[in-house]
Amino acid sequence: MTTRSEPEQGRSDPGLDAIMSERRHLINLAYRLLGSMTEAEDAVQETYTRWCAMSRQQQDAIASPGAWLTTVAGRICLNLLGSARARRETYVGEWIPEPLPDGTVADPADRVTLDESVNMAFLVVLESMTPAERVAFVLHDVFCHSFAEVAEIVGRTPAACRQLASSARRRIRASQPSATPAAQPTGVVRDFKQAWEAKDIDALIGLLDPDATAIADGGGLATTFLHPIEGSEQIARAWVEIARRRPGNMTFLERTVNGQPGLVAQQDGVVVTVFAFEVAGDRIRHIWVVRNPDKLRRWTTGWGASPCAL
């Protein structure tokens, strides 16, 4: 990347420090917009590249560098979302957002805030939105930007952006399970793991919503079921079959997946599958299985991204 002249030896550049302090916000925004940490990092890198391509005079003329970075990152993500739809039409099997592990990362600027806006169920609903709906909703409802600011990114009027966000909210509400007494998701997932390892079909069926669905993403790179499995009995039988075929060197472990209780399968100590769950009441409503090795890099090698050098 193009660099600006170095500040005097031993002295920091306040302007540079302010710009780099926006990185975590941009990473958080881009991941929610794209559902892929790899693509989010690329979008943020491109954002900083465009900043560095300007002269110092042009940079100094920008009243709010943070707002400028957010606008540019939002537009880059909007363009990527449009092209992603075309790419996913040829994707082998189902496409599931990239799951994120909990824990510390190499650089705090790369840490994604794990809240309800990054759980797998929420991200899957975001995938059903149009690119403009997704950008308008995430920027306004999740990151509290005004519709005037959203309009600058989406290229529509504030009123149109308000309608986009409203449409996105309806999608969110329609996807939410009806209000039922909530169990502890950790306990439900733990019971599921135990029943799975015991190959207890009846126990598994009892832990699954009758209309539960299981969806797998192998990306054509890992053997998995290509089509969603629907119904508690069908899922239970499929999971027992998985347990029967499990290699002797594979173990199932409880882990946090996108801030929610989940499971991982490790083979020779390496994560080969991540299982995310949506629990409604005391039953599992959805299971998402990610086996695409490209989406599991952060589970096997950690968070290797570093801030771009300005």
Q: Are 210 and 231 in contact (CB under 8 A)?
A: yes
Structure confidence at residue 154 as a pLDDT band (50, 70, 90): very high
| Amino acid sitting at position 70 | T
Structure confidence at residue 113 as a pLDDT band (50, 70, 90): low
Pair of tokens at residue 147: 């519709």
Question: What rounded mean pLDDT belongs to the chain?
Answer: 87
Q: What whole-number distance in Å separates Cα of residue 301 and Cα of residue 194? A: 28
Dihedrals φ, ψ of 156, to 5°? -130, 175
pLDDT attached to residue 106: 43
Structure confidence at residue 180 as a pLDDT band (50, 70, 90): low
Pair of tokens at residue 249: 């060197």
Half-sphere exposure of 291 (CA within 13 A, CB side): 19
Dihedrals φ, ψ of 109, to 5°? -70, -20
Q: Is the pLDDT of residue 214 over 50?
A: yes
Handedness of CA 249, 225, 219, 76 (dihedral sign): negative
| DSSP string across 81-128 | HHHHHHHHTTSSS---PPP-B-S--S-GGGPPP-SGGGSHHHHHHHHT
Pair of tokens at residue 281: 């009441």
Structure confidence at residue 302 as a pLDDT band (50, 70, 90): low
Which residues neighbour 34 within 8 Å (Cβ) at sequence distance 6 or greater? Answer: 40, 43, 77, 80, 81, 84
Q: Which DSSP symbol is given to 145? A: -
Q: What whole-number distance in Å separates Cα of residue 190 and Cα of residue 186? A: 6
pLDDT attached to residue 303: 44
Determine how many CB atoms are found less than 10 A away from the CB of residue 128. Answer: 13
Q: Is the pLDDT of residue 307 over 90?
A: no
CA 238 to chain CA centroid, Å, is 26
Handedness of CA 180, 183, 189, 195 (dihedral sign): negative
Among 84-98, 204-218, 234-248, 276-290, the minimum mean pLDDT is found in: 84-98
